[in-house]
Chain A
Amino acid sequence: MKRVYVNEEWCLGCHLCEYNCAWANSGVRFMTDALKGRKIFPRIHVEGDSKITFAVSCRHCEDPLCVKSCIAGAIRKEDGVVRINRDKCVGCLTCVLVCPYGALAPAEDGIMQKCELCLSNSFGEPACVKGCPNHAIVYEERGGAE
């Protein structure tokens, strides 16, 4: 199972991954139309302090606590990918309460959204990784169970 992994020593903190994520999930053809002048709500975010930066997105855990904790039964794991059904989500943020990676944040409407590896948008593979200028995030197989 391919996942997004972080090489934090190579991260420039440029936030391009956040823009590419927001664009890929907007369904809009051109990046400027999708993002210009808007506050973005990406599913990956850059964290850090004065010394280090790194991008955090869903780990698609082997044993995802968010799936087991969702009070609406809106999150499930299918073929190794943790997905959310936004129709069922009521925005209670219980998944934010339990995710040990701090990987989840709500969308603009207060309803949760999450990284689904761009597998069901027009990009077909993680746009964050594709646009990363320095391989600070990579999409690859590193073993481990599904």
Chain B
Amino acid sequence: MKRHVIIGNGTAAVGCIEGIRSVSAEDTITVISKEPHAVYSRPLISYYLEGKTDTERMRYRDADFYEKNAVDVRYGASAEHIDTEHGEIVLTDGSRIPYDDVCVAAGSSPFVPPMEGLETVEKRFGFMTLDDALSLEKVLTKESRVLIVGAGLIGLKCAEGIHGRVGSITVCDLADRVLSSILDSECAAIVQKHLEANGISFLLSDSVAKFDGNTATMKSGASVAFDVLVLAVGVRANIGLLKEIGGTVNRGIVVDTAMATSVPGVYAAGDCAEGYDASLGANRVLAILPNAYLQGRTAGVNMAGGETAFTNGIPMNSIGFFGLHIMSAGTYDGEMSEERGDGILKRFFVKDDRLTGYILIGETGRAGIYTALVRERTPLSEIDFEAAKKIAGSAVFSAEVRRKKFGGAV
């Protein structure tokens, strides 16, 4: 019987718990949860504000999840140090939890660049946790003028979530376009136009020079009056626990395909980890929920004595704003080709007979077929790729491949 400790209580932790229990019913599991909540669906905090879900339905797992899996959760506790010499996790309150192996599933933290006068802003919020959403909810009124710093996924999802509850929303970003980490200029322009049509204003290629109470003075000289400030500039992987003990870290905690770090007995998974990206052929932080689960599960199976590797992780996103759906996957490496239609733009990136990535706007049906081409590095010469670009479907595969897909247990 082994003693497993998991630091963090998000999706990667759940993957780890379910991974451990798929191998061992006896091993003990202790979860150290900084947030005082049972695991919830973090990406749903914007949907909560939008009224599309509530805290009960936001449970990522059933209420009896920890009990059923015999997990001891320490709510409100925080791991401060991994004492590898004694095999103990030291908590901030000084108490110690012995471990045989540990999974760091500590996620990421909001990155707030130094901004002059930020402390003069009374109503300022991050948008990472359920508690962030609940406290933001308390101050919003139909008259609120909201300034969101950051036009990435989190900032824009926040904008959509609060849209029906506030007077106005302005989003600013240093980048020259929205969703700059996943969209090129033309795709970003389509999304921006759609958001503007829904009443969101933008100040791009611009950043806050100075805050003074309820006024932000921008680098461009523009002045924005606001009542509520949301900071969604970016996130950074929580790598401190590994860095401090000399573990290999980069942008994230570096892990191999078994999710083992450079420190024996220590695994890492989810937003804090830097694991293999099959579309890049190198390690990279993949800060998305599916990856957190899959990495966590891989770590759990290996911790409990099973043997598994996660070799086909890729970046991928499905996001919608006010009815417009956008999907993307992979890296955008190689030659680009596109398909256009009314309100539709699909871009495909091909290199060495492989689909390295894609962006879809407005038409996302059966996109998983494209995602699988990226993930599995399917040679495009084996399928009718020209037909596939027009419409995602399985007719583009050979009859033989289809027989396997739809005629056997998969």
Residues A102 and B293 in contact in the complex (CB < 8 Å), given A8-B406, A97-B368: no
Number of interface residues of B (CB under 8 A): 49
The answer to the question of B408 belonging to the interface, with a C-beta cut-off of 8 Å to chain A, is yes
Are the CB atoms of B365 and A96 closer together than 8 Å? yes
Closest B residue to A87 using CB positions: B57
Interface hits, B90-136 → A, CB 8 Å: none
Total cross-chain contacts (CB, 8 A):
133
Q: Which stretch of B245-253, B271-279, B313-321 is in the interface?
A: B313-321
Interchain CA distance A48-B391 in the complex, whole Å? 10
Interchain CA distance A8-B398 in the complex, whole Å? 12
Closest B residue to A143 using CB positions: B409
Interchain CA distance A5-B394 in the complex, whole Å? 15
Interchain CA distance A14-B255 in the complex, whole Å? 51
Interchain CA distance A143-B293 in the complex, whole Å? 28
The answer to the question of B294 belonging to the interface, with a C-beta cut-off of 8 Å to chain A, is yes
Closest B residue to A5 using CB positions: B407
Contacts of B320 in A (CB 8 A): 91-93
Residues A92 and B319 in contact in the complex (CB < 8 Å), given A49-B387, A59-B410, A98-B368: yes
- The 8 Å CB contact of A47, one of B293, B294, B317, B394, is B394
Interchain CA distance A99-B318 in the complex, whole Å? 12
Closest B residue to A73 using CB positions: B60
Are the CB atoms of B290 and A68 closer together than 8 Å? yes
Closest A residue to B392 using CB positions: A102
Closest A residue to B39 using CB positions: A73
The answer to the question of A3 belonging to the interface, with a C-beta cut-off of 8 Å to chain B, is yes
Are the CB atoms of A102 and B409 closer together than 8 Å? no
Contacts of A62 in B (CB 8 A): 409-410
Interface hits, A84-107 → B, CB 8 Å: 87-88, 90-102, 104-105
Are the CB atoms of A68 and B294 closer together than 8 Å? yes
Are the CB atoms of A145 and B368 closer together than 8 Å? no
Residues A100 and B371 in contact in the complex (CB < 8 Å), given A54-B402, A90-B44, A92-B319: yes
Shortest C-beta distance, B162 to chain A (Å), equals 16
- The 8 Å CB contact of A101, one of B319, B375, B394, is B394
What 1/0 flags go to B367-379 for Cβ under 8 Å of A? 1110110011000
Most chain B CB inside 10 Å of its own CB: which residue of A54, A61, A102, A145: A102
Shortest C-beta distance, B359 to chain A (Å), equals 12
Most chain B CB inside 10 Å of its own CB: which residue of A49, A95, A98, A144: A98
Are the CB atoms of A97 and B406 closer together than 8 Å? no
Are the CB atoms of B392 and A98 closer together than 8 Å? no
**Known contacts A72-B60, A143-B409, then 17 further A-B pairs from the complex at CB < 8 Å, ordered by chain A residue:** A8-B399, A8-B403, A54-B395, A56-B394, A69-B290, A69-B293, A71-B44, A72-B41, A72-B43, A92-B320, A94-B290, A96-B327, A96-B364, A97-B329, A98-B371, A100-B369, A102-B365
Chain A residues proximal to chain B, CB less than 8 Å? 1, 3, 5-8, 47-49, 52, 54, 56, 59, 61-62, 65, 68-69, 71-73, 87-88, 90-102, 104-105, 142-145
CB-based closest 8 A-B pairs: A144-B409, A102-B366, A69-B290, A100-B372, A99-B368, A6-B406, A73-B60, A97-B318
